[in-house]
Structure formats: structure tokens, C-alpha cells
Structure 1
Amino acid sequence: MRTMGFARRLLTALAATAAATTLFTGHATAEPAQVDWVSATQQLRAAATGNPGAERAVDTLLGDPRVADAARETALPAQPFQIPAESNVGRGGGPGMYGSGVALNIDGFRFAFFGGPGTIAPNQTGARLDVVWLNLSNGRSGMEPLTEHLDIIADTTIRTRVIDPGPGMVVAAVYGTLWHRWPVPVSPEHPDGFQYVRGEITFPSLGSIYN
């Protein structure tokens, strides 16, 4: 069954993330590349032009010391973004560190996001998570919603459709909102046995990947 096969591949990839903080799927090795974050975010801002949400997200990144001080080496996908996101709900203990964008190459190139309190809720009505991306090597760019998620324990990400950024250095930022849930006792307030919270990203996750 394709769903379970994908889930197994996803679980393997994310287990590698937890163990090594960097996912390696697809090719085994590659020479690390360097990214100029200042130039990259300026060019990503140009790619975001015309989309107010993307423009606001990249404007938040421009000039921020967290971007200037981020790691400059990049590796092959899939890998977590070098700069994590912050949110109004953090990891469940109030505003703060939230999660990270990630590039996946399990069944094709996708952008994804993982993190936040509890798990990703299967119903994302009223929330929207997006990524704006730019290939610095060939000029390709785009904006994609993150909508694909399996309601199983193994799936800790929400992902874009498969896209083709082409070869080269790709920079991307994930921004927006996302519903999370975790089990609680059944009650009139929680008839399905879950508590829900919507996380709003206050500082986007920024990353670069050498594809």
C-alpha cells in the first residue's frame, strides 16, 4: 500500500533527523556549499513580490542577526533548515522556538515543516502554512502551500506537493499558521478527546539546500 510505504520511508528519514540533526536521503555524499544569507534573503524578497504574506515573512528575516549568524554550509536534501521558526505557541510552553522547515527527497523534492506542540492536526481549516523559495543558481522561484499530511503517528511533517526547483542552491522560508492537537480526557469542551491550538509563526524558518 502506497500510504504505508511512504510512512515507513518518512519515519526512517525523520529518525535520521533526530539522531543526526540532518537528514540524508537520496545521494550519500556531497561537498558542502556556502550560502551568503544577506544576499540570499534579499533575492528571496524579490521572489516574494506580489504576495503580501510572503513579503511580510521575508521582511521579518531581512537584517535580523539570527539570519546573519546562521550556519553557512549546506548539504543535500533532505535536511532541516538552518534557521528555525518561532511561534506564539512555541513547543507548548508559550511563545518561542517552534519548529523547522525541512527539505525532503523521499518520493520527489518537497518542502515540509515539523515541530510545535503535540502533533499536526488532520483538519487545517482556518490555518495556512506556505513556503516561498528561490533557486539562486537558475532563477527559478515559487510559492507553495504545505497541505499533505497523513494522520498517523509516523507522519510528523506537513508537506508541499512534489516540485522541481532544478539543480543548484535553493533558499526557502516557511511562514503562516498551523493547527496542532494532543489527547486530553473527553469532556463537553473536548468531545473528541483532543485539545487543539493554532500556532502562528512570528519568525519564519529559513534554509538553504544544495539540490
Structure 2
Amino acid sequence: MHRVRSIRLAAAAAASALLMLTGVGHATAERESVDWSSAMRHLRAAAADNPAALAAVDRLIASNQQLAMQKAALPAQPFQIPAQSDIGRGGGPGVYGSGIALGVDGFRLGFFGGPGTIAPNQTGAKMEVVWYNLSNGRSATDLLYEHNDVPVDTTIRTRVLDTGPGMVVAAVYGSLWHRWSVPVSEANPDGFQYQLGTISIPSFGAVYN
């Protein structure tokens, strides 16, 4: 039963990524602005006890990016500001991927992007998200760890989160292993090339639960 739910969640995530890339999405309401200063102040406070999270939020603040909120409906809401990393999408430093909110089997936060696919073994990497609910003041830092090694699963995700209803601001940061198929060789005995991506500027979003 758990496997079926996971595959369903993965399929929804893959569909949302495709919708984002093609510019087609769920029904949306009028665009809203988010108070960047207030959101960053709350997110920084939520990260205060986690040095890695705090450093990531400070890098995001220093980047001085602003977002225009567009209300969307679950089950999938990509973050408005993509992440930057040392490997980008495989062609050198640059745009890397995006955070995403998912609501198929409960509200989760995740990430998709980078070169190739997400490697099933994440030893030595650690991807996290710090979030704050602007509507009720709840906050936390959570690990992104759930991923199924199947073609439809394009994301790595948190556990189900109890953020409560309302607008949630979140930043995804850390590192992630990717892999893609290459000819089997002494250097690549399993037929895969692996690369570690490290986020320099987090993916940031304001999403509705």
C-alpha cells in the first residue's frame, strides 16, 4: 500500500514538473505580492537554531530576489524562485532546479531538477528545507529524503508535514547526488555517471496548503 501511494505521489510530481516547463498549470487566481522583508525575517528566525539553514537564508537574502505570488491549487506548486548551484543543470554553475510543494497524500515539500536523474544513494549529500507558515507561525527545518528509483519519480521529498493551513514560505538548500546512463567501463561499472550538486542560492517559494 505504501509503495502504491509513493508511486502516485511521484507521478503527480513528474506531471507538475512538465506543466511548469510548458507554462501550463492548475487553475490560478489573480497574482499577489508577498512582503519579501517580512517573509525573510520570519524564515530567518525559523532557521536560527540551524547554522546551515541560517547561512542558506542569508545567501538568499543577499541575492535580493523578489517574487510575485501566483495562487495555485495543490497537488503540486513549484516554487517561484529556482535554486542556483555549482553544477547548474549540468553545464556549469547556474540555474539548478526548483523546490515544490506536493499534496497528494499530505502536504510535503520537495525538490526537482539538476542534470540527469536523482541518484538512489544519497550518501554524503544532504538536502533540507526551512519553512514558515505566515498564517499561523508554525516553522521547522526538514530533511528531503524520500525518492523512488523509478522513471516517473522526479523529486526528492520530506515526510508529510504538519504546517497547518495557509501560506507557507520555504527555502530548499543543501546538496544532492545525480546520475545518468553512460557506457559500462572500468570507471563506470554500473553504467552510470554520478555528480554531486551543491546549492549556492536556495530555491524559494510561497505556496498554499
Contact kept? 2:5, 2:105, Cα under 8 Å? no
Q: Structure 2: which amino acid aligns with 1:39?
A: S
* Cα 1:128/1:13, change in 2 over 3 Å: closer
Q: Give per-residue Cα distances to partners, 1:107-142, cap 9 Å, x unaligned.
A: 110000000000000000000000000001111000
TM-score, length-normalised on structure 2?
0.91
- 3-state SS in 1 of match to 2:68: coil
Percent of aligned pairs with the same residue?
60
- 3-state SS in 2 of match to 1:86: strand
* Cα 1:105/1:75, change in 2 over 3 Å: same
Q: CA deviation at 1:18?
A: 1.4
Quote the residue 1:134 is aligned against: 132
* Cα 1:8/1:139, change in 2 over 3 Å: closer
Quote the residue 2:15 is aligned against: 15
2:25, 2:174 → 1: CA distance?
Answer: 24
1:146, 1:178 → 2: CA distance?
Answer: 10
Answer with 95-104 or 28-37: which moved more. Answer: 28-37
Quote the residue 2:37 is aligned against: 38
Aligned-pair RMSD on alpha carbons?
1.9
Q: Unpaired segments of 5 or more residues in structure 1? A: none
Quote the residue 2:47 is aligned against: 48
Instruction: Give 1:78-89 correspondences, 5 Å limit.
Output: 78-89=76-87
Quote the residue 2:72 is aligned against: 75
Quote the residue 1:171 is aligned against: 169
- 3-state SS in 1 of match to 2:108: strand
Quote the residue 1:194 is aligned against: 192
Quote the residue 1:203 is aligned against: 201
Equivalent pairs, count:
206
Answer with 53-62 or 36-45: which moved more. Answer: 36-45
2:69, 2:43 → 1: CA distance?
Answer: 16
Quote the residue 1:182 is aligned against: 180
Contact kept? 1:87, 1:203, Cα under 8 Å? yes
Q: CA deviation at 1:19?
A: 2.7
Quote the residue 1:100 is aligned against: 98
Quote the residue 2:107 is aligned against: 109
* Cα 1:16/1:43, change in 2 over 3 Å: closer
Q: Structure 2: which amino acid aligns with 1:57?
A: A
Q: CA deviation at 1:5?
A: 4.9
2:71, 2:37 → 1: CA distance?
Answer: 15
TM-score, length-normalised on structure 1?
0.90
Q: Structure 1: which amino acid aligns with 2:36?
A: W
Contact kept? 1:14, 1:23, Cα under 8 Å? no
Q: Structure 1: which amino acid aligns with 2:158?
A: T
